[in-house]
Amino acid sequence: MSITLAFDVYGTLINTHGIVSKLMQFSVANAEQFSQLWRDKQLEYSFRRGLMQSYENFAVCTSNALDYSCSYLGVSLSDEQKNELLTSYRRLPAFDDVIPALQQLKNAGYNLYAFSNGTATAVEELLTSAGISDYFLGVVSVDEIKTFKPNPATYQHFLTKSAATCSSAWLISSNPFDVIGAVSAGMKSAWVKRNSDAVFDPWGIDPTVIISKLSELEQHVAL
């Protein structure tokens, strides 16, 4: 049975804090704090829209979160600067371990997909900019069903689009909410613990495996 690997994109493959250098160009003194708040609010807004069944795509959540972060932290940015930041968010870098691990997994015969809250167009642009688009058989976006992870429907959507079964599919994510969502939907999941201080949500729903870098993945999902 072939194994299908669904890679979360933002925060797992792509370093969302790659935006810090751009923030510093705009003299945002607390750039790292700003970046973290922006990311946290981006996810919060997607959760809230999913629960409210008031869908707007992930780019809208990202833009709204940017506006909130400016207001909360008292950062004054022009519309032009905000547009530059949003453009830069579509061209963020991959983590250093991503290309070697994807090459290893592709060579080993796994079916690799990008699976994201972002629209397919945005994700494809992001993966291409980061130089990793060719490793994937395709992009599966929740935008196609107008909701967000961790709605159970998103994981079923992935299985349908990739023609995979729960028993042969893994979600790979650095986001605990995503891991819990996938496991709850019957998939296996690897939590990429990129920060040693990261805490997994104590819900009694554990990842199948925990890894600190993507190069450790193959030993756990070996064909």
Average pLDDT over residues 142-152: 98
Same structural domain for residues 69 and 145?
no
Same structural domain for residues 36 and 77?
yes
Residue 50: what pLDDT? 97
Q: What is the mean pLDDT of the chain?
A: 96
Residue 212 pLDDT exceeds 80: yes
Same structural domain for residues 141 and 162?
yes
pLDDT of 124-142, one tens digit each? 999 999 999 999 999 999 9
Point out the residues that are catalytic. Answer: 8
Same structural domain for residues 36 and 102?
no
Q: Which domain holds residue 119?
A: 4-14+92-221
Residue that is last in its domain, among 89, 112, 141 = 89
Task: Measure the CA–CA gap between 152 and 69, rounded to whole angstroms.
Answer: 29
Residue 109: what pLDDT? 95
Same structural domain for residues 99 and 131?
yes
CATH code for position 103: 3.40.50.1000
Q: Residue 14 corresponds to which amino acid?
A: I
Same structural domain for residues 85 and 97?
no
Task: Measure the CA–CA gap between 48 and 86, rounded to whole angstroms.
Answer: 21
Q: How far apart are the first and last CA of the chain?
A: 8
Domain count, the chain: 2
Residue that is last in its domain, among 89, 104, 126 = 89
Residue 1: what pLDDT? 63
Q: Which residues contact 23 (CB under 8 A, 6 or more apart)?
A: 31, 34, 35, 85
Tell me if 89 sits within 8 A of 19, measured CB to CB: yes
H or E segment to which residue 210 belongs = strand 209-211
Same structural domain for residues 68 and 102?
no
Residue 223 pLDDT exceeds 60: no
pTM exceeding the 0.75 threshold for the entire prediction: yes
Sheet strands (E) in the chain:
4-7, 111-116, 138-141, 169-173, 188-192, 209-211
pLDDT of 169-205, one tens digit each? 999 999 999 999 999 999 999 999 999 999 999 999 9
CATH code for position 69: 1.10.150.240
Same structural domain for residues 41 and 137?
no
Same structural domain for residues 20 and 129?
no
Tell me if 214 sits within 8 A of 193, measured CB to CB: no
Same structural domain for residues 143 and 175?
yes
Residue 163 pLDDT exceeds 90: yes
Report the greatest alpha carbon distance in the chain. 54
CB atoms within 10 A of CB 222: 9
Task: Measure the CA–CA gap between 89 and 135, rounded to whole angstroms.
Answer: 21
Tell me if 162 sits within 8 A of 113, measured CB to CB: yes
Task: Measure the CA–CA gap between 18 and 97, rounded to whole angstroms.
Answer: 15
